[in-house]
Amino acid sequence: MTLVLCGLTYKFLRLAELAEYAYEEGALSLPVIIQGQGLKERASRQGLSEKYPHIQYIDSVSRQEYAKLLKDADFVVTHAGVGSILGAKTAGHPFVIVPRVHSLGEHVNDHQIDTLRGFESEGYLSGLAYASHYPQQSKEEFVAHIVQLQSLPASTIAHRTQSTHLSLIERILDQEKRASMKDLLTTGQGLMLSASAGGHMVELMYAMGYAQRDQRAEHVKDRAQSESHKSACDLPRIDTLVSTMPLGEGDLPAKSQELLLEGNRHNPIRMCGNIIRAIGIIRKHRPRLLVTTGALPSAILARIAVLCGVHVIWIDSISAVHKLTLSGRWVKRFARVYVQWKQLADDEQTFYCGSLFD
């Protein structure tokens, strides 16, 4: 099965059309599932189900369904969203990355191109069974990427995706030398996590070690090994999880969940509402440690938390290659900001402990 991820927030018709061309050329493993905003309606309007009988178009899926699709896929084609790249990498399948282009109206800027080039220059994707397809490349080259990757031995692909590193949050707390805070990862008492839905939540899952759990457990073959390797798969417990949409099975497990309003600086009324909500959340749960990967709603929560004496760790998005995110620049005025690119750790409030790819 081939899984094509066009993203949720913005339409990415060019990637869907590339996948359809590859299908016509017989390059994709069948069936093909193409996920993306507006694609189901487009397929219905243009009669694509009759033209491409082995392609299923879907708009969105739950995180649990998404995880199952990744597991069942033989091959993945994805936009250059950080969450999607991390998902494809962890699943252990060959994958092609197609970044969105601002000039084509596919995103608000060209950060996906910057992110992908940054990943490649730092070697974050070296050794993986992947190919990048930039906009100047032809659709024939796109098909050639797929054919080449599908010829790789499965054993080689599984070996390349294996990982045993500490989670990013463990590395951060080791650097801070906060033994009492690290104990919270075991007890969960006083531990609060926060992230907006989508890529920010995926980055949080990786930072805390949850997304890597299945990858590590996949290499444990029997019950005896499972017991002896239990510590490798132990995961932080969470007291409170805060996000911008209700979370379901397959998301970060927590004793309680709280909601903030989705939005950005262009939604001042929503952000004022988040100030009130954040005050209530901090007063209700009284956390000792708040770990967040953004975005602005979580930055507001972080500001209230600091005012109430909570230790805050802000992990800026790995998609911020050349400079901090706008929210990260604000947060570093009052809290420690951890960047995922060495060159961004350039003052006393920004720190580097590696990235989600380490």
Helix (H, G, I), strand (E, B) or coil at 4: strand
For tokens 């091959």, what's the residue? Answer: 75
Task: Answer whether the bond into residue 295 is a cis peptide, omega within 30°.
Answer: yes
Which pair of structure tokens corresponds to residue 199? Answer: 């890529």
- Per the CB < 8 A criterion, the answer to whether 34 and 58 are in contact is yes
- Asked if 353 contacts 172 with a C-beta cutoff of 8 angstroms, the reply is yes
CATH architecture label of 2-160? 3-Layer(aba) Sandwich (3.40)
In degrees to the nearest 10, what's the CA dihedral of 242, 289, 64, 146?
110
Give residue for tokens 């069936």: 31
Q: How far is CA 358 from CA 35, 64, 208, 340, 353, in A?
A: 28, 25, 13, 10, 10
Print pLDDT tens along the chain (358 aa): 999 999 887 899 999 999 999 999 999 999 999 999 899 999 999 999 999 999 999 998 877 788 889 989 999 999 999 889 988 888 888 999 999 999 999 998 899 999 999 989 888 887 788 999 998 999 999 999 999 998 887 655 654 444 446 789 999 999 998 877 888 888 888 999 999 988 898 899 899 988 655 444 443 333 344 443 434 345 677 999 999 988 765 567 889 999 999 988 889 999 999 999 999 999 999 999 999 999 999 999 999 999 999 999 999 999 999 999 999 999 999 999 999 999 999 888 999 999 988 7
Is it true that 2-160 and 168-352 share their CATH fold?
yes
| Fold held by 168-352 | Rossmann fold (3.40.50)
- Listing DSSP states for 41-100 in one string gives HHHHHHTHHHHSTTEEEES---HHHHHHHHHH-SEEEEES-HHHHHHHHHHT--EEEE--
Concatenate the DSSP letters of all residues of 253-310 into one string.
--SEEEE-----TT-HHHHHHHHHHHHHHHHHH--SEEEE---HHHHHHHHHHHHTT-
Alpha carbon distance 96, 9 (integer Å): 20
Helix (H/G/I), strand (E/B), else coil: 175: helix
Residue 240: beta bridge partners? Answer: 192, 256
Instruction: For 31-74, write each residue's pLDDT tens digit.
Output: 999 999 899 999 999 999 999 999 999 998 877 788 889 989 99
Each domain of the chain, given as residue ranges in start order, spans 2-160, 168-352
SS3 337: strand
Identify the H or E element spanning 352. Answer: strand 350-352
Round to whole Å and give the CA distance between 244 and 159.
Answer: 36
Predicted TM-score of the model (pTM) = 0.82
What values do phi and psi take at 294, rounded to 5?
95, 180
| 8 A C-beta contact, residue 308 and residue 288 | no
